[in-house]
Structure 1
Amino acid sequence: MAGRNMRFKDTIDGLEEVFETDIPKSSVVLVTGAAGTLKSGFTFQILSNYLEGAGEYGLYVTLEQSKENHLKNMESMGLEPTKKLHISDFSDYRLLYDDISNDLLKTLEENIIDFRQEAGDKCTCVAIDSLGALYSLLDVGGKELRKGMYRLLESLRREGLTTFLILEEEKSSDINDSSTSMEGYLVDGIIELGLHFKGNVANRYMRVRKMRAASHSMEPWIVTVSDSGLKVYKGSF
């Protein structure tokens, strides 16, 4: 499926069973979970396959690792990069801006908007990997951080960008946990990735906690890695 008929739910094998209707365009989606739950791979596969199929462009901002290391990790999961998705690592920002720490949220916003304007209307998606790395570089917290994030996300919405935010939780995600972080109140959708232990067996899973204006399953679905990327399927927990 290509062109304007391309949907986000067609990007991972089995995801079309999780979503009855697609992730709405211009949404802000939080992809959250503990370490090792495939958050980056999940987000990268959705964006790469969507942009390739739709003939659109996007920006993947990696704040945690270099572009080269990120691509190696994606390759180890069977994920092929696309020229439609530009990867910007933190060294890009160091080259572009002399003093990045003064107002990193504003710097990030300007960088994304500049890319959007350069690429034109066909630039439709952005991912930030990860919020934890972003927060560690900021001098603010609490109410000021929430205000800054609100302004950033509203700016991306106004640009019509579908935005994926990756957030690593310190605690391990569990199927029975329904708590929502500060970010959960600022976004349109939450996709949770976690580990479920049954005896000595650990299964990775995904669950859509919320997605405004979309019809979707609320149940957990098993996530596996194949030679050609991630797959999602119904399993017993």
Structure 2
Amino acid sequence: MRFVDTIDGLNDVFETDIPKNSVVLVTGSAGTLKSGFTFQLLSNYLEEQDEYGLYITFEQSKENHLLNMESMGMKLSNKLHISDFSDYRVMYDEFSDDLMNILEENIIQFKEHIGDKCTCIAIDSLGALYSLLDNDAHDLRKKMYKFLETLRREKLTTFLILEEENKSDMSDPSTGMEGYLADGIIELGLHLKGNVANRYMRVRKMRATAHSMEPWILAVSENGLKVYKGNF
């Protein structure tokens, strides 16, 4: 199975698959299904592969995260390990300078434990991680560059969830430094037309991949998410 075969209709958006070992930013405002999109993509992919992955959550506890996913018809693959870092938002407030190193060590240790069959990770979310760090923009960019290069050297396909509070429609293309560091950007948003609101997804960039750049409707079905062509 390819990454783009994990969500119904996503393979219509992509002609070729998301490249292995790349860093993909999944971005959008609150309520645009960023966590659900990333979780379903990884869980469904791993369920059909002889591979394993790590989903790190800073936003919610593991229990609350899984309840939310189950409410949308998604199932957890036993090959996707959920690492609950939500307590770090309290525990490591006074040790924020060490948190990036702690996170990196956690990932490396998991990879060493699983071996080469550990192929992908997700971090949910960068905003929650940043809230624990006491760095200016320049230092943060340097730390993120080093962190992402480490993940690339470990041959991990990485999905980073980033909430953009000011992003509300397709007319706003804003993304910060993360967009420059990432190999791909998948944008999720909410499109308003009259009294009708539709969630959408579009691929803003994906290196070494052929894909549509148009918006596609993203909806919740009985069996998880689905993507289909809409009239915007």
Query: TM over 0.5: same fold?
Result: yes
Partner deviation per Cα, 1:104-162 (whole Å, 9 max, x = no partner)? 11110111011001000100000000000000000112100000000000000000000
Quote the Cα distance in structure 2 between the aligned partners of 1:74 and 1:105.
27
CA RMSD in angstroms, aligned pairs only: 1.7
Residue 65 of structure 1 corresponds to 60
Amino acid paired to 1:128: I
Q: Helix, strand or coil: the match of 1:105? A: helix
TM superposition score normalised by structure 1: 0.94
Shift in Å at residue 48 of structure 1?
0.1
Quote the Cα distance in structure 2 between the aligned partners of 1:115 and 1:214.
29
Residue 37 of structure 1 corresponds to 32
Residue 195 of structure 1 corresponds to 190
Residue 111 of structure 1 corresponds to 106
Which runs of 5 or more residues in structure 2 are unaligned? none
Identity across the alignment (%): 76
| Pair 1:102-2:74 in alignment | no
Quote the Cα distance in structure 2 between the aligned partners of 1:175 and 1:93.
34
Quote the Cα distance in structure 2 between the aligned partners of 1:149 and 1:206.
25
Within-5 A mapping of 1:82-97: 82-90=77-85
Residue 53 of structure 1 corresponds to 48
Quote the Cα distance in structure 2 between the aligned partners of 1:213 and 1:172.
26
Aligned length: 231
Which deviates more, 168-177 or 7-16? 168-177
Amino acid paired to 1:85: L
Partner deviation per Cα, 1:55-101 (whole Å, 9 max, x = no partner)? 2100000001100000011011110011100001116769x989752
Q: Say which of 23, 26, 35 aligns to 1:28.
A: 23
Within-5 A mapping of 1:168-183: 168-183=163-178
Quote the Cα distance in structure 1 between the aligned partners of 2:109 and 2:94.
18
Residue 9 of structure 1 corresponds to 4
Quote the Cα distance in structure 2 between the aligned partners of 1:99 and 1:156.
26
Contact kept, 8 Å, 2:57 with 2:86, in 1: the verdict is: no
Quote the Cα distance in structure 1 between the aligned partners of 2:35 and 2:124.
7
Quote the Cα distance in structure 2 between the aligned partners of 1:97 and 1:137.
8
| Pair 1:219-2:224 in alignment | no
| Pair 1:129-2:134 in alignment | no
Which aligned segments of 4 or more residues in structure 1 are displaced greater than 4 angstroms?
91-94, 96-100
| Pair 1:232-2:227 in alignment | yes
Contact kept, 8 Å, 1:173 with 1:193, in 2: the verdict is: no
Which deviates more, 82-91 or 187-196? 82-91
Partner deviation per Cα, 1:180-201 (whole Å, 9 max, x = no partner)? 3211000000000000000000
Which runs of 5 or more residues in structure 1 are unaligned? 1-5
TM superposition score normalised by structure 2: 0.96
Quote the Cα distance in structure 2 between the aligned partners of 1:58 and 1:100.
27
